Structure 1
Amino acid sequence: MHFLTKDLYFPPVEEASYEGILAIGGDLSTERLLLAYRNGIFPWFNADEPILWWSPPERMVVVPQLYKISKSIRNLLNRKQFEVTFNQNFEAVIRNCQQVERKGQDGTWITDDIIESYTKLHEMGFVQSVEVWQNGELVGGLYGVDLGHIFCGESMFSKVSNASKIAFVTLVQYLKENNYKLLDCQLHNDYLEQLGAFEISRETFIRVLKSAN
């Protein structure tokens, strides 16, 4: 386990623990966050914990150019029950992601410090949001770090059935149209797998990440 100081530095990702924890401590400055994402590292910790930096051995991803929209989701899109926008209300999206209850989790890793730092990154153009609206109300969305060739998804929320699916698929379509190489979903969960994400090795992920830096 590496303990970070004020120096802007991360150890090689190969030195992460079996679970994927690479380092502890440091800060959430925009400079450190950008350095982390550009090297395949992301923060993930509970509010009562020090900052933990991760680079897991397996990475959950979507390859936009290969993504096939399921028939059920295509039918949802065709019904036009939702309106989807980009970067129209980032603050509301990240606040909803912070407040939504998640199965198996007592709290949230999206602390107020996280919100402050990612809001700065959003203002700098490095964090994007997707909003899903129904009858003028924000009912779903997601946000993530945009590296230009890889989009690192951070969190999503849904207040009505299927809203987060619409956000996800609309993002993948956008990434495909703009020749992104990967949508990084970070860690495996069943919902992401249902949406079509799959795991690749850290080595493969880093190779793609570095190919266009």
Structure 2
Amino acid sequence: MISSRGNDLVASNRVAVPEEVVEATIAAYLAGYFPMSEDGELDYFTCDPRSLYLFDCFHVPTKLRRFYRKHTFDLKIDNAFEPVVRACRVGRPEWISEFQVQLYIELFNRGCAHSIEAWQDGKLVGGIFGTHFGAAFLAESMFYQVTHASNVCLVYLMERLQYGGFHFCDIQYANEHTARFNPVDIELPEFQKMYQRAVSGEARLAP
């Protein structure tokens, strides 16, 4: 059961994630796979091609760039990881199961997952969460309650990833929304080479 108290999304009953599942998920990520729920079951997938945001190619639309410079939101990292994941799940429980929520929390507790948050007047109004292995960052999902909040988080995330020494931001596959930012499709064999170099590297996500 999920209860909402003001802006705080919390779980009133938690699903235990076995240690072997956490370890299997980390191993899958390191091999270039990502978890998804299918018919209520957790499995690991890849796609060909894989879509990446590369720093030299990342495009911020002009109107969004102007809005970003206004500093409308207070942008934070890792202040509200679980609320961000749960907000991303609202209306899309088939994409992010409750078991996955708890799995991401376990990864966060191990330093393998992060949230980027947009706050306005003390309220969480947008965010992105993703996973982090070596110098690879994988953006998992985003949400917004105020116009541009999630997009501003994405621009901020890309700035911090580049500053922190990451190689790229993996978005797995592109869609109509992400296409605005000019992701690059990489054929799977080449992606695996890039990905293994990245996960073997070191990077840090910090404000």
- Relative to the length of structure 2, the TM-score reads 0.82
5 Å matches for 1:75-154? 75-99=66-90, 101=91, 107-154=93-140
Deviations along 1:4-63, one digit per CA (max 9) or x if unpaired, are xxxxxxxxxxxxxxxxxxxxxxx97221111111111011224x3322321111111101
* Bigger relative contact order (CA 8 A; separation at least 6): 2
Aligned-pair identity (%): 27
Q: 2:197 is aligned with what amino acid? A: S
Which of 30, 35, 42 is equivalent to 1:43?
35
Deviations along 1:140-189, one digit per CA (max 9) or x if unpaired, are 00111111311011111011111110011110011111221110001221
Q: What SS is found at the alignment partner of 1:185?
A: strand
Which residues of structure 1 form unaligned runs of 5+?
1-26
Equivalence for 1:164: 150
5 Å matches for 1:164-183? 164-183=150-169
Q: 1:53 is aligned with what amino acid? A: Y
**Preserved CA contact (<8 Å) 1:28 1:114:** no
Q: How far off its partner does 1:65 sit?
A: 4.3
**Preserved CA contact (<8 Å) 1:127 1:144:** yes
2:50 maps to 1:59? yes
Distance 2:20 2:122 in 1: 34
Distance 1:83 1:31 in 2: 34
Distance 1:136 1:51 in 2: 35
**Preserved CA contact (<8 Å) 1:59 1:200:** yes
List structure 1 segments (4+ residues) > 3 angstroms apart after TM superposition. Answer: none
Q: How far off its partner does 1:68 sit?
A: 3.9
Which residues of structure 2 form unaligned runs of 5+?
1-18, 201-207
Equivalence for 1:6: none
2:21 maps to 1:33? no
Change beyond 3 A, Cα 1:28–1:145: farther
**Preserved CA contact (<8 Å) 2:130 2:139:** yes
**Preserved CA contact (<8 Å) 1:130 1:141:** yes
Instruction: Give the CA RMSD over aligned residues.
Output: 1.9
**Preserved CA contact (<8 Å) 1:28 1:113:** no
Q: 2:176 is aligned with what amino acid? A: D
Distance 2:149 2:182 in 1: 16
Distance 1:153 1:83 in 2: 20
**Preserved CA contact (<8 Å) 1:62 1:196:** yes
